[in-house]
Amino acid sequence: MLSEFTLIARYFQSRQQADSRVVLGIGDDCALLAPTTGMQLAISSDMLVEGRHFFPGTDPTRLGHKSLAVNLSDLAAMGATPMGFTLSLALPKANETWLAGFSGGLLALAEQYQCPLIGGDTTKGPLTISITILGQTPAGQALRRDAAQVGDDIWITGTPGDARLGLAALQEEITLPPDMLAYAQQRLEAPTPRVQLGQALRGIAHAAIDLSDGLSGDLGHILTASGVGATIVADDLPVSSALGMQPQERQRQYGLAGGDDYELCITAPFPRRAAMIAAAAACHTPLTRIGTIEQQPGLRIVDQRGTLLDLALFSFDHFTS
């Protein structure tokens, strides 16, 4: 029987990355980090509960990836540089095959973004993964939700709606050809946090948010916090070839209100268009302009000709759905 300490040592401690910012990692009562002078700490937590955020039986490697990806995505949305994270894990049993897969997916992403695991807590219980991530950003340069300004362009990374497409296929609401199923399921289960672009947009963009609950709702948070409104052009939303095969109504519903994409929605002043495009190219991140921040409160969604669309969009909310 695997003890708690052997489990931590074998799957989490043994693969600690060397990192000059980590003075002391796993093994003591606290980890010790050395932030860079002049930087502010950016801290965020996200919890994933089996049966709520992921299906029982989800591939453990992908689950490890996603658990950290959603947290890295929060740092990306602030323009912060990752420093490290803690992992609090409730496990029904110590299944070594599961632990090997989970820690493998988790720590591979941690290595990719130089974000070492620095501590955590392990307990028996219904499968729950809670990560707290720490990052840093130059004082005053974080991409806050309350910083959008009238006249800003609205930009989006990637192709929102793909994770929702994957969910619909897994829930058998729709059927996809095998290659498109593989693509959409991968977008759902192993999202790409836009960490590099987030940092590159410091000093260029005004506001940013990552898309966890759906574009219309998440952009709505920027609008409310900034005391502004917006118009976005539904036909300008980038659509993947997989989602592009679906009827237009579903494309719009998933693209505008599908959750779990972990793309970034960004506002930036229009004189910085060239800088936005250059930053996206340097980070190899697809970036599309989809609308404008306006004085009039509320979110308006129009078609190519500017006609207002009357769409019933539902953003995800844990306590109403």
Q: Which is nearer to Mg ion, 86 or 137 (CB)?
A: 86
For the bound state, the minimum distance from the C-beta of residue 131 to ligand ADP, rounded and expressed in Å, comes to: 10
Q: How far is the CB of 206 from Mg ion (least distance, A)?
A: 41
**CA of 43: how far to CAs of 145, 196, 226, 266, 270, in Å?**
15, 17, 21, 20, 30
Residues 117-136 that bind Mg ion (CB under 5 A): 121
d(Cα 310, Cα 321) in Å, to the nearest integer?
A: 22
Beta carbons of 278 and 272 less than 8 angstroms apart? no
Q: Rounded to whole angstroms, what are the CA distances from 148 to 48, 144, 298?
A: 30, 8, 14
Q: 8 touches which of Mg ion, ligand ADP, none (CB within 5 to 8 A by kind)? A: ligand ADP
Interface region with ligand ADP, contact rule CB under 6 A, candidates 74-82, 114-122, 205-213, 298-306: 114-122
Contact 31, 22 (CB under 8 A): yes
What is the smallest separation between the CB atom of 103 and ligand ADP, expressed in angstroms? Answer: 9
> Contact with ligand ADP (CB under 6 A): which of 68, 75, 117, 223?
117
- Using rule CB under 6 A, residue 27 touches ligand ADP: yes
Position 22 contacts ligand ADP (CB under 6 A): no
Q: 120-149: which residues touch ligand ADP (CB under 6 A)? A: 120-122
Q: Residue 7 Cβ, how far from ligand ADP at the closest point, in Å?
A: 8
For ligand ADP, which residue of 8, 115, 205, 290 counts as binding (CB under 6 A)?
A: 8
Site string for ligand ADP, 71-110 (x = CB under 6 A): ----------------x-x---------------------
Cα distances (angstroms) measured from residue 72 to each of 35, 69, 286: 17, 5, 18
Burial label for 73, CB within 10 Å (0-12, 13-18, 19+), is buried
What's CA 84's distance to the chain center, in Å? 16
Other Cβ atoms within 10 Å of 18 Cβ, number: 7
Partner whose binding site includes residue 28, from ligand ADP, Mg ion, none (CB under 5 to 8 Å by kind): ligand ADP
241, burial (CB in 10 Å: exposed 0-12, middle 13-18, buried 19+): exposed
Secondary structure tally for the chain: helices H, strands E: 10, 12
Among 1, 18, 29, 310, binds ligand ADP (CB under 6 A): 29
Alpha-carbon span 151 to 292, nearest angstrom = 6
Chain-centroid distance of CA 139 in Å reads 23
Closest separation between CB of residue 139 and Mg ion, Å? 33
Smallest distance from the beta carbon of 121 to Mg ion, in angstroms?
A: 4
Q: Which residues bind Mg ion (CB under 5 A)?
A: 121
Chain positions contacting ligand ADP, by CB under 6 A: 8, 12, 26-29, 87, 89, 117, 119-122
